[in-house]
Structure 1
């Protein structure tokens, strides 16, 4: 029996090593995985399959319905209002829009009203008010649904809306909403809500799906009102439930034609989760009328995307900056291109400020983040540590273009998660979010290079160790 296991291990190790050599795109990372496979027998191969496979090149894992989802994209762009290209006057904006449109299909769309919701209480107030006005349908997906007062309020609104004939579809991430009680899911289903998990935890498929998460936060109401950002469905955004306190997050309400792009993402996600093909053919609305003056581009990517568009978006915003780059993110573990891009910007004289939480819900992420600080501080980048648990995912370039969404500054958001951001080409919206950002920086502790260098030696060791595991977080 041991001989059989050993033969299987040897064959698996050779296959894994071959895939690393053929499909590995990062030499240092590839070498690291080869060492893991060699020096961690059996478990090393399993770790590689779970966390190391370059899935864009090595097709060991193909999302079901990928072809139909892409055909739906093509049909959507061909026939929808979103398929019309918007012409920018600024070369900077034109380059960024082209990059993101060509890598994730969604163009910049003018004529939107964008409302900034700067904390959880504001976000829920706006969400509940809009939900109560729904006439035809409500489509909702979140990474985290947690039992509590917020979920109960959602349930009561859904109960009323279902009675009025409003159709409701709801999807949740199986890992992110792992603590959601089974009886809560049954309550929603009993109302008539179509509820499905994304990538459910099942024996036989879990080894291929556990490392993928739908991290998006999307609500679409009647086709012309949408919400997206960093807030989940949880009481932690309105009351303290741990030493982290109330989670501090940014969310957006978007009204106008750009909601169609957001809706397209939900439709594909719901089809993927439910296998209900009817949602691909259903006509939800006519052409959406303009509601405001903001130009919005929805940016999405996932493990089934051809390109790591969220990373491209952040890198594009950094490279195009002329005056300032402001970043707020709870999991700041940038890829090498992003790290070098920020350092280059600072050396060019661009004002770079980064706001992160002083405490984290993940010790590993906390120490991994700290391992990047020295390089950044040495080139003059300002790092602020918020006393609140900052959960916002924001990047602002030149106080002109701003991104708010679900994408973190880490490998997981770039490669493993399904993410969605809203990129707003509007100086007024960018100024409002910048003002909030700078106020948060004023209330936070600015980290200096001297203080960072004086931390204990054991902390440096832990940081270095944590950084090795940053792709797994």
Structure 2
């Protein structure tokens, strides 16, 4: 009798999951994975689907009130006036990419910016320390990971000094990513006078639907005059040896000019979500500062609060519009079907496609999942290079003229679930600097040969396939 009742419950739960997968699924391959997971793993499979598989963009019933709040804020604040401003770009390719981003996010291209490419964590934090020390009005920080350690201790000392000078300090952190940030440090910051708030906190009643939607952005804005964004978190992994991975490598940007305000808009939206405080009504936080720079920048903000998978469409537009070359530097390369096919089509069309990826990462499942895509890509003519050190950079550039640096990985989580932020630079100069670094790293890396790769062990192939099967969870 007990087995009959359990079986009946499993059928009911599977039927519920199957209905939602079939009617609201995004991709057939991902939908099939979820069907098998919910069918073969009674109760556990459905629970995992409820946590990680619900498509919030399609199923309005499961849309969090916080997500609705974000959407309302987007609609009411920072409404663009006039056209998309694409006419300041040089060619149709740039204009098409810019128009796509504008149509999805209302974010315009901003002219007259200056950019400094920060090629590793040491460079990034030295620049951030300097900018924090020069703050005159406010400091706004937002990071997926904030961990106790040498780096954050130095930042806290600087913030304490600035708070004593009357400078406003606000900090946002992701609840899951920053779980190592201890209570003592949080309380110390609050006692100092800093405004410190968690993003997407685990709350009773919304935990099951909020766990899978993390804020993955890395942002620092000082006085709305200087901004930082990219892949660097506040963690000592960038300055000390990580067991098995060494010192993490990453790419970050220091930006001055009108584009800083666009980065700040993303912060203000998230701050409103976390605190109910709408700072966008105060000109102190929205005033734009020009700069005599030569870089055109467009900020790409994406997440479940947008109707489309913005960053996935951004990457697809890069790949589809490339005419000569595509270069990708990313730590977690687990592409969707459309991204995978776009890379193959580009390579088969004669475009030089180069992927520079880490041979190992902090996630074995992600590494095996990444390897599972290599054979089909190699067959199409994609060049794959594996570097010995662990690179956390999220960079893509095409035709030596358009580059993107940000927080977004090439995986389903970044495309469909996380809140991300990229900076597109329509600049040959900035792209050339990234390419120089890319080529230097590529020349030191190991290039995969198709015939040699095919000879990998049966165990390796099995682990790759199993990891790929569970890729919806990655």
TM-score range, shorter chain: over 0.9
Q: How far apart in 1 are the matches of 2:82 and 2:398?
A: 28
**Unaligned stretches of 5+ in structure 1?**
none
- Cα distance, 1:269 vs. partner? 0.8
Equivalent in the alignment of 2:268: 267
TM alignment of 1:341-352, pairs within 5 A: 341-352=342-353
Equivalent in the alignment of 1:31: 32
Equivalent in the alignment of 2:158: 157
Q: 1:337 to 1:272 in 2, by over 3 A?
A: same
Q: How far apart in 2 are the matches of 1:201 and 1:282?
A: 30
Equivalent in the alignment of 2:451: 450
- Cα distance, 1:220 vs. partner? 0.8
Equivalent in the alignment of 1:279: 279
- Cα distance, 1:282 vs. partner? 2.6
Equivalent in the alignment of 2:255: 254
Equivalent in the alignment of 2:176: 175
Q: 1:416 to 1:237 in 2, by over 3 A?
A: same
> CA RMSD, aligned part only?
2.0
C-alpha offsets along residues 254-302 of structure 1, whole Å, 9 cap, x if unaligned? 10101111111001111112223x4242322433223311000001111
- Cα distance, 1:445 vs. partner? 1.1
In terms of mean alpha carbon deviation, does 115-124 or 73-82 score higher? 73-82
In terms of mean alpha carbon deviation, does 285-294 or 349-358 score higher? 285-294
C-alpha offsets along residues 381-430 of structure 1, whole Å, 9 cap, x if unaligned? 11111111011000010010000000000010001111000000000000
Q: How far apart in 2 are the matches of 1:161 and 1:46?
A: 46
Q: How far apart in 2 are the matches of 1:4 and 1:221?
A: 60
Q: How far apart in 1 are the matches of 2:30 and 2:244?
A: 35
- Cα distance, 1:4 vs. partner? 7.3
Confirm or deny that 1:364 pairs with 2:356. Answer: no
In terms of mean alpha carbon deviation, does 334-343 or 21-30 score higher? 21-30
Equivalent in the alignment of 1:299: 300
**Unaligned stretches of 5+ in structure 2?**
none
Confirm or deny that 1:222 pairs with 2:208. Answer: no
- Cα distance, 1:435 vs. partner? 0.4
Equivalent in the alignment of 1:92: 93
Q: How far apart in 2 are the matches of 1:172 and 1:433?
A: 28
Look up the SS of the partner of 2:198 in the other structure.
Answer: strand
In terms of mean alpha carbon deviation, does 416-425 or 284-293 score higher? 284-293
Equivalent in the alignment of 2:391: 390
Assess if the C-alpha contact under 8 Å between 1:352 and 1:381 holds in 2.
yes
Assess if the C-alpha contact under 8 Å between 1:82 and 1:257 holds in 2.
no
Q: How far apart in 1 are the matches of 2:64 and 2:202?
A: 15
In terms of mean alpha carbon deviation, does 423-432 or 26-35 score higher? 26-35
Q: How far apart in 1 are the matches of 2:341 and 2:61?
A: 31
Equivalent in the alignment of 1:437: 438
Assess if the C-alpha contact under 8 Å between 1:81 and 1:257 holds in 2.
no
Normalised by the length of structure 1, the TM-score is 0.95
In terms of mean alpha carbon deviation, does 281-290 or 325-334 score higher? 281-290
- Cα distance, 1:45 vs. partner? 1.5
How many residues end up aligned between the 2 structures?
472
Equivalent in the alignment of 1:184: 185
